């Protein structure tokens, strides 16, 4: 389905690199099927070309003209200027895939000015190691075949959950931002490990494998998360002592509030673009 497709990344930041890295590493498409372009960072384009063997083009309009699938991966605040700059090179046979937090498909459709298919996605940076949790939804003109193409694209770099667009903000707050929450907790675990006398290498091995094990356990059981952490606890044991501190600090409430705020922020970003005409 993707064998003869040229995929152009309009924007070459961390999310673009994460997806590019996953596609190349897992051989979803040949590196030469991928073109990366951006506004002015030639150094980043040179790096991507050398690191992944893809093509790059500093002329955004040329790169978009050549693409069958256009991945919109610029900063959300730059989406209008970026599409305006290449709009004359777009056509209805192309598929536009947004990885932009909060930007509605209707706004992108308005900017394009024609009925090309638009699919909104929210991957996360774990795409680089083939482990993204990605949510996707169709815009007004996207076909089921195009949705299947995007599913294939992102399934190669992790799991894909198809949702309606009104749920994409929740996907953003939970899965899109999710890796950062875990890295934040890992940082705290690293500090505790250092204070306890473990070396950085020892801590890194223990912590990373612990997280991998937790993920696998969650995926392989029907038990709830509460049941799983209670399994680890024994009366007056070490885990119970640690959990009591987390409860005293209202850690679950803080995490819930953080995710809720991230979801709200995604909605705020999107509200700026709703009912906005080109």
pLDDT of 98 reads: 97
CA distance 198 to 196: 6
pLDDT of 276 reads: 56
Binding-site residues for NADP(+), please? 10-15, 73-76
CA distance 52 to 73: 17
Binding-site residues, please? 10-15, 73-76
User: Is 127:19 a contact under the CB 8 Å cutoff?
Assistant: yes
How many percent of the chain have pLDDT more than 70? Answer: 99
Q: Which CATH architecture has domain 178-266?
A: Orthogonal Bundle (1.10)
User: Is 151:2 a contact under the CB 8 Å cutoff?
Assistant: no
Half-sphere exposure (Cβ direction) of 268: Cα atoms closer than 13 Å: 7
pLDDT of 244 reads: 97
Q: Say how many Å lie between the first and final Cα of the chain, rounded.
A: 33
Q: Residue 18, exposed/middle/buried by CB under 10 A (0-12, 13-18, 19+)?
A: buried
Residues of the chain with pLDDT under 50: 278
CATH 3.40.50.720 fits 7-163, yes or no: yes
pLDDT of 275 reads: 57
pLDDT of 122 reads: 94
Q: Is there a shared CATH topology between the 7-163 domain and the 178-266 domain?
A: no
pLDDT of 128 reads: 84
Residues 6+ apart with CB under 8 A from 138: 105, 117, 119, 146, 147, 165
Q: Residue 73, exposed/middle/buried by CB under 10 A (0-12, 13-18, 19+)?
A: buried
The DSSP secondary structure of 78-113, one letter per residue, reads: GHHHHHHHHGGG--TTSEEEE--TT--HHHHHHHHT
Q: Residue 77, exposed/middle/buried by CB under 10 A (0-12, 13-18, 19+)?
A: exposed
List the structure tokens of 111: 């900017």
CA distance 226 to 126: 25
List the structure tokens of 118: 């638009």
Nearest CA-CA partner of 78 in 172, 11, 157: 11
pLDDT of 278 reads: 45
Which H helix or E strand runs over 193?
A: helix 178-195
CA distance 95 to 217: 37
pLDDT of 9 reads: 98
Taking the domains of the chain in order of start, what are their residue ranges?
7-163, 178-266
Q: Provide the CA 46 distance to its chain's centre, in angstroms.
A: 23
Nearest CA-CA partner of 76 in 176, 198, 199, 223: 176
């Amino acid at each position: 389905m993707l064998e003869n497709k040229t995929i152009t990344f309009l924007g070459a930041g961390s999310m673009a690199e994460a997806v590019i890295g996953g596609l190349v590493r897992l051989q979803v498409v040949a590196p030469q099927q991928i073109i990366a372009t951006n506004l002015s960072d030639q150094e980043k384009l040179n790096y991507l070309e050398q690191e992944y063997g893809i093509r790059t083009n500093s002329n955004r309009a040329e790169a978009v003209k050549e693409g069958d699938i256009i991945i919109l991966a610029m900063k959300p605040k730059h989406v209008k200027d970026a599409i305006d700059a290449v709009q004359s090179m777009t056509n209805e046979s192309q598929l536009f895939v947004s990885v932009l937090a909060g930007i509605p498909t209707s706004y992108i459709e308005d900017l394009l000015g024609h009925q090309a298919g638009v699919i909104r996605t929210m991957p996360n940076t774990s795409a680089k190691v083939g482990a993204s949790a990605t949510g996707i939804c169709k815009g007004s003109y996207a076909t089921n075949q195009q949705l299947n193409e995007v599913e294939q694209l992102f399934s190669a770099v992790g799991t894909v959950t198809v949702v309606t667009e009104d749920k994409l903000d929740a996907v953003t707050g939970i899965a899109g931002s999710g890796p950062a929450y875990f890295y934040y907790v890992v940082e705290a675990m690293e500090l505790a490990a250092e204070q306890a006398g473990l070396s950085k290498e020892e801590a890194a091995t223990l912590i990373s494998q612990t997280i991998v094990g937790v993920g696998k356990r969650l995926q392989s059981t029907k038990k709830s998360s509460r049941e799983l952490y209670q399994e680890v606890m024994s009366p007056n044991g070490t885990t119970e002592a640690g959990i009591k501190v987390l409860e005293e600090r209202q850690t679950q409430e803080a995490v819930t509030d953080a995710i809720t705020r991230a979801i709200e922020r995604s909605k705020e970003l999107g509200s700026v673009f709703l009912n906005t005409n080109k």
